[in-house]
């Protein structure tokens, strides 16, 4: 009778270990998913910062030379790109 009890206990311990491994695995998968989401958010933030730098640069260029501001006008139409014409030059 004591031997049967020890075998049941050993089987139960193995089951406990398997359930613990399952819980740890699910937790690690959740952590990996969180890392992926954080990495995507970081990439998006970087791209937004770069866009702000480029936008600030073009605004500074336009403000520095308002007479030829139309040169910065880019309008795609019918597969071709129309660049604004240079009608005024700096210093003239």
Distant-in-sequence, close-in-space partners of 84: CB < 8 Å, separation ≥ 6: 70, 71, 72, 73, 74
Whether 31 is in a domain gets the answer yes
pLDDT score of 47: 96
CA–CA separation, 18 vs 14, rounded Å? 6
Q: Which domain holds residue 24?
A: 2-65
CA–CA separation, 51 vs 73, rounded Å? 17
Whether 58 is in a domain gets the answer yes
Whether 15 is in a domain gets the answer yes
Whether 33 is in a domain gets the answer yes
Structural domains in the chain (count): 1
Please give the chain's pLDDT, 92 residues, in tens: 566 666 666 678 888 999 999 999 999 999 999 999 999 999 999 999 999 999 999 889 888 888 877 777 766 665 555 555 555 444 44
């Amino acid at each position: 009778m004591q031997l049967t009890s020890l075998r049941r206990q050993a089987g139960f311990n193995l089951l406990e270990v398997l359930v613990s491994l399952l819980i740890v695995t699910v937790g690690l998968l959740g952590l990996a998913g969180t890392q992926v989401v954080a990495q995507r958010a970081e990439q998006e933030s970087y791209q937004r910062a770069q866009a702000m730098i480029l936008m600030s640069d073009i605004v500074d260029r336009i403000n520095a030379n308002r007479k030829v501001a139309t040169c910065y006008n880019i309008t795609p139409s019918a597969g071709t790109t129309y660049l604004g014409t240079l009608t005024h030059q700096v210093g003239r």
